Amino acid sequence: MVTLPLAWLVSVLTTIAAYALAQNTRVPFPARLFLCSFLLALAAIGLLLGLRLSFDSEWAARIQPLVAVMVAPTAYLGLRALAQEQTSSWRNALLWNGAPVALAQMFIVAPIPISADVFVLGITSVYLFRTATLLRYGADDFAHVPPHVVGVVRSAIYATIILLGMMVSTDVLIVAASLFAGDTFILPFLSGISGVFTAFIFVVALVGAPMVLRGALSGAVKSEPPNDGDRALMAALNTLLTEKRIYTDNNLTLARVARRLSVPVRDVSNAINRLTGENFSRYINGFRILHAQRALLETQLPITEVMFDAGFVSKSSFNTEFRRVVGQTPSQFRAQKADA
């Protein structure tokens, strides 16, 4: 009777998750790209670990570090792509973060007397810290996340930190075991670690799936109903946006708007969430998209100039938000109206 390695359960779960995420067009393309890469990297590690433990595959042992070094960077980039600070293009992010990963992979395959786990440990440790910094972001910093799903995103960040922490701890123990216990201890040790690793992924899937479903089905449910103060504050905000057109400032922040209105930041954020179901970034981007629509219809300005004039600084963010609001890209919108 052939028994399948337990680690392959990780591959099945993460592959299914990657497929489901790839189909969710509400998630911005950069986030989908990096998060799917993260999940598929986990799937590949589960597959390679199963081959290594159950079939003593030497080639799997050589490939596994090359894949493992990609896990933490892709997780960080995917989660960061949901945040407001993603002003540069995803290609630049891929270049600057992919370069050290490629360099580490070159050292791993090079004939040098340094364990591959040292390079995996170094890269994972750096991106574990960078992922932890995402916890400082508030609801309004996640520009591409509806308010009622922010809790799910933060839970995903915590789960990712725990997973990367497990990987760092494992690499430290593997390096220590190879130095003091010898290679004969490594495979049995890896077998135990793979069981813990698989159990963690399985628990996250069981807990995370209902959370995601609740977030998707709950819609823009507000924790509290709007009050008269919220309505008065929103009226003042709308007047400020329409008359002063402050949304065209690409450095506009929630704090600056609150100062203009002479109210606490939390009051502005709560009023927007309760009355619109959106966060601050999405609400402001709605005004920017309306501005861009008028410019595309009434002027012959290049789309890039329209983008900057509306308050966007990133073409990818502009296209993503325009498609979210209008259902078309800016070029498709202009072409369709020209043909009408």
Cβ neighbors of 199 (< 8 A, separation 6 or more) are none
Tell me the mean pLDDT in the region 59-85. Answer: 87
Residue with tokens 């954020």: 269
Global confidence as pTM: 0.69
**259-265 contact pairs (CB < 8 A, 24+):** 261/233, 261/236, 261/237, 263/233
CA distance 38 to 130: 15
108 neighbors 116 (Cβ within 8 angstroms): yes
Write the CA distances from 109 to 82, 105, 112, 186, integer angstroms: 33, 6, 8, 20
**Which run of H or of E encompasses 107?**
helix 90-109
Least confident of 128-132, 186-190, 288-292, 315-319: 186-190
pLDDT band at 197 (very low <50, low <70, confident <90, very high): low
Question: Per residue in 11-35, is it b (16+ CB within 10 Å) or e — as a string?
Answer: bebbbebbeebeeeeebbebbbbbb
86 neighbors 80 (Cβ within 8 angstroms): yes
pLDDT, residue 32, reads 87
Dihedral sign computed on CA atoms, order 132, 96, 123, 75: positive
At residue 3, what are phi and psi to the nearest 5 degrees? Answer: -105, 135
pLDDT, residue 179, reads 65
Domain spans in the chain, listed from the N-terminal domain onward: 8-218, 228-339
142 neighbors 152 (Cβ within 8 angstroms): no
CA distance 43 to 10: 6
CA distance 39 to 43: 6
pLDDT, residue 288, reads 94
* Superfamily of domain 228-339, CATH level 4: Homeodomain-like (1.10.10.60)
End-to-end CA distance of the chain: 67
Structure tokens at 270: 């709560």
212 has pLDDT over 50: no
pLDDT band at 89 (very low <50, low <70, confident <90, very high): low
pLDDT, residue 303, reads 92
DSSP for 202-260 reads HHHHHHHHHHHHHHHHH-S--SS---HHHHHHHHHHHHHHHHH-GGG-TT--HHHHHHH
pLDDT band at 214 (very low <50, low <70, confident <90, very high): very low
